[in-house]
Every structure is written in structure tokens, then in C-alpha cells.
Structure 1
Amino acid sequence: MQAIWNGVVIAESDDTVVVEGNHYFPESAVKREYLLSSNHKTMSSSRGEASYYSLLVDGNINPDAAWFYPEPREAAAELKGRVAFWKGVTVR
């Protein structure tokens, strides 16, 4: 699987976990040079608090386009150390 935005592969791995149609990539498969820390957070009753990254590719920013669960709830433990994408990021 690849996560692609703005023509650039942001993450690539055959080891993704799919939850509600979203592919969660291992952190080690994500090209960190394209990630910017974000202060944005959301809460999921089943997974816990999500933190976000914005993407920066060729001078273009996609705010809060990647998310992860630093301390997922026990029921979502398989998401620990994984990152998912949205907001125009193609996963194929």
C-alpha cells in the first residue's frame, strides 16, 4: 500500500491495519520529512485521543491530513505506532 499526496509517496508498506476503511501505516513506513507537527486533536470513544500531522510537499501544506493515536484505548491497541491519512491523500 502507498499513501500519495501531491504526486509524492508519503508512506509505503504491505503491513497496514484497516479500521473503518482507513489504512494505518507503521510509523517506520512514513517519510517523516513530509510531516509537520500539528496541535489539532480529536477524541474517539472507541480509540482514544488522536493527534495530527500536517503534510508539507513541494511547498504545499495539507493541514491535519494524517492522524495517529499516541495512547490508544485497549480495544484499539493495534493502532499504536501507526499513522492514517485523509484530506486528499490517496491510499492504493
Structure 2
Amino acid sequence: MKAVVNDTVLAEAPVEDLIKIEGNWYFPPSSVKSELLETSPTPYTCPWKGECQYFTVNAGGQRLQDRAWSYPTPYPTAFDRVGKDFSNYVAFWKEVEVVD
């Protein structure tokens, strides 16, 4: 699967390496082109996953604020709910398409 903006691939990994949480595909950290992501100051804490880190996506000549996010240190109880450790996995939304 790939996370793509226009023709720029932001992340790519086999579907079995991804984790689906609440309808969003989370890519393993090693599959993400971190040079295309810029840490965002936007604060958010999910009641069951924990403190979120947003990223601005810089790709294809576009700067897309808060279009990617991860949970660097999720609550331990979230692992039970998800069934797996998803620390630092990255999800995308809006203009970023996740495709086969």
C-alpha cells in the first residue's frame, strides 16, 4: 500500500505491515519518507490512544498542514484495544490518498 500526494509517495509498505485503526491505515515508521514530513505544533490528545504528533506534509510543491499524524508513546491500554504496538506508526488524511 502507498500513501500518495499527486505523484509523490510518502510511505509504502505491504498491507500486512500496516495497522488499521478507526478506518485509517497506519504505516510503520520505517516505511515513511520522514524527509517529507515536518513536525507540527498542533496539540491533540486522544482519550484512548494518548498524545498525538501531527505533521505537515511537504510534497509535490504543496505544504499540507496536519495531514499526517502518529502516536509516539500511546497509552499501554491502547495496545490491547488495537492488538499491536503502533508507536510512531504514521497515518494520513484528506489530500493524501492511501492506495494499493
TM interval, short-chain normalised: over 0.9
Stretches of structure 1 lacking an aligned partner (at least 5 in a row): none
Matches within 5 A, 1:4-83: 4-14=4-14, 15-77=17-79, 78-83=85-90
Q: Percent identity?
A: 40
Whether the aligned pair in 2 keeps the contact of 1:71 and 1:80 (CA below 8 Å) is yes
Stretches of structure 2 lacking an aligned partner (at least 5 in a row): 80-84
State the 4+ residue runs in structure 1 displaced beyond 4 angstroms. none
1:16-65, CA deviations, whole angstroms, 9 ceiling, x for partnerless residues?
00011111101110011211111112111110111111011133100011
SS at 1:41's partner residue?
A: coil
Distance (whole Å) between structure 1 residues aligned to residue 45 and residue 71 of structure 2 = 10
TM-score, normalised relative to structure 2: 0.85
SS at 2:44's partner residue?
A: strand
SS at 1:11's partner residue?
A: strand
TM-score, normalised relative to structure 1: 0.92
Higher strand share: 1
Distance (whole Å) between structure 2 residues aligned to residue 37 and residue 28 of structure 1 = 17
Whether the aligned pair in 2 keeps the contact of 1:62 and 1:87 (CA below 8 Å) is no
- Aligned-residue Cα RMSD (Å) equals 1.1
Q: How many residues align?
A: 92
